[in-house]
Structure 1
Amino acid sequence: MNGHVRSRRTLGIAVASALAVTLSACGGATDAGRGGDTAEGAPSPGITDDSVTLGITTPLSGSTAGPGTCTVAGVRAYFGMRNAEGGIEFGDGQTRTVEIEALDDTYDPQQAAANYDQLKNEVFAMTAGLGTPTNRAWRDAAIADEVPQALIMTGDPIFSDTEQSPWQLGFVPIYQNEGEAFGELLAASGQQHRVAILSQNDDYGEGYVEGFKAAVEGADNIEIVDELTYEATDTSVDAQITELANSGADVIFNAMSLVPLVVGALQKAQQLGWTPSWFLPSNTSSPGAVLEPGGGGAFPGIYSVSFAKAPASPAFAEDEDVQTYLSALAEYGDYPEPPAFPHCQWSWMVGATLEQAFTQMEEPTRDSFMEALRGIQGYEAPLMLPGTSVDTTQDGQPAVSSVVVQKYNGRGYDTVESFG
Structure 2
Amino acid sequence: MTIKNKVLSAVAMGAVAALALSGCGRSDGGGGGGGEDGGTASSPGITDESITLGVTTPLSGGTAGPGTCTVAGLAAYFGAANAEGGVEFGDGKTREVVIEAFDDTYDPQKALSNFQQNQGDVFAFTSGLGTPTNRAYREAAIDSEVPQVLVQTGDPIFSDQAESPWQLGFVPIYQNEGEAFGELLAGSDEDLTVAILSQNDDYGEGYVEGFKEAIAGSDNIEVVSELTYEATDTTVDAQLTELAGSDADVFFNAMSITPLVISAIEKTRELGWSPSWFLPSNTSSPVAILDPAGADAEDGFYSVSFAKAPQSPAFAEDEDVVAFLENLEEYAADYTTTPDFPHCMWSYMVGATLEESFASMTEPTRESFMEALRGIEDLRAPLMLEGTSVNTTEDGQPAVSSVVVQKYNGTGYATAESFD
In structure 1, the partner of 2:23 is: none
In structure 2, the partner of 1:297 is: 296
Question: Is the CA contact 2:138–2:148 (under 8 Å) kept in the aligned structure 1?
Answer: yes
Which stretch of the first structure deviates more once superposed, 378-387 or 287-296? 287-296
The code of the aligned residue for 1:56 comes to V
Distance 2:128 2:330 in 1: 22
1:248 counterpart = 2:247:
yes
Question: Is the CA contact 1:311–1:338 (under 8 Å) kept in the aligned structure 2?
Answer: no
Runs of 5+ in structure 2 lacking a partner?
1-30
SS in 1 for 2:82: helix
Q: Which of the pair has the greater relative contact order for Cα pairs under 8 Å at 6+ separation? A: 1
In structure 1, the partner of 2:15 is: none
CA RMSD for the aligned pairs? 1.4
Question: Is the CA contact 1:36–1:146 (under 8 Å) kept in the aligned structure 2?
Answer: no
The code of the aligned residue for 2:120 comes to N
Runs of 5+ in structure 1 lacking a partner?
1-34
* 1:32-181 → structure 2 map (5 Å cutoff): 41-181=40-180
Distance 1:37 1:251 in 2: 58
Question: Is the CA contact 1:53–1:98 (under 8 Å) kept in the aligned structure 2?
Answer: yes
Question: Is the CA contact 1:37–1:366 (under 8 Å) kept in the aligned structure 2?
Answer: no
Question: Is the CA contact 1:275–1:299 (under 8 Å) kept in the aligned structure 2?
Answer: no
Number of residue pairs aligned between Structure 1 and Structure 2: 386
Shift of 1:63: 0.2
The code of the aligned residue for 1:386 comes to E
In structure 2, the partner of 1:263 is: 262
Distance 2:364 2:291 in 1: 46
In structure 1, the partner of 2:190 is: 191
In structure 2, the partner of 1:11 is: none
The code of the aligned residue for 2:72 comes to A
Distance 1:186 1:196 in 2: 13
SS in 1 for 2:292: helix
SS in 1 for 2:185: helix
Shift of 1:336: 6.1
Shift of 1:41: 3.0
Question: Is the CA contact 2:32–2:41 (under 8 Å) kept in the aligned structure 1?
Answer: no
Distance 2:247 2:98 in 1: 53
1:10-44 CA-to-partner distances (Å, cap 9, x unmatched) read: xxxxxxxxxxxxxxxxxxxxxxxxx9999993100
In structure 1, the partner of 2:380 is: 380
1:324-347 CA-to-partner distances (Å, cap 9, x unmatched) read: 000000100115643110000000
Shift of 1:395: 0.1
In structure 2, the partner of 1:215 is: 214
SS in 1 for 2:384: coil
Shift of 1:248: 1.8
Distance 2:82 2:144 in 1: 29
Distance 1:173 1:188 in 2: 22
Shift of 1:295: 2.0
Shift of 1:416: 1.2
Task: Flag as ranges the 4+ runs of structure 1 deviating above 4 A.
Answer: 35-40
Shift of 1:300: 2.2
In structure 1, the partner of 2:406 is: 406
In structure 2, the partner of 1:31 is: none
TM-score, with structure 2 as normaliser: 0.90
Shift of 1:411: 0.9
Shift of 1:191: 0.5
Question: Is the CA contact 2:72–2:336 (under 8 Å) kept in the aligned structure 1?
Answer: no
Question: Is the CA contact 1:53–1:101 (under 8 Å) kept in the aligned structure 2?
Answer: yes
SS in 1 for 2:193: strand
1:228-256 CA-to-partner distances (Å, cap 9, x unmatched) read: 00000100000111000000201000000
Task: Calculate percent identity across the aligned residue pairs.
Answer: 72
The code of the aligned residue for 2:78 comes to F
In structure 2, the partner of 1:283 is: 282
Check 1:337–1:99 CA distance in 2 against 1; reply closer, same or farther (3 A cut): closer
In structure 2, the partner of 1:356 is: 356
SS in 2 for 1:113: helix
1:392 counterpart = 2:370:
no
Distance 1:149 1:157 in 2: 14
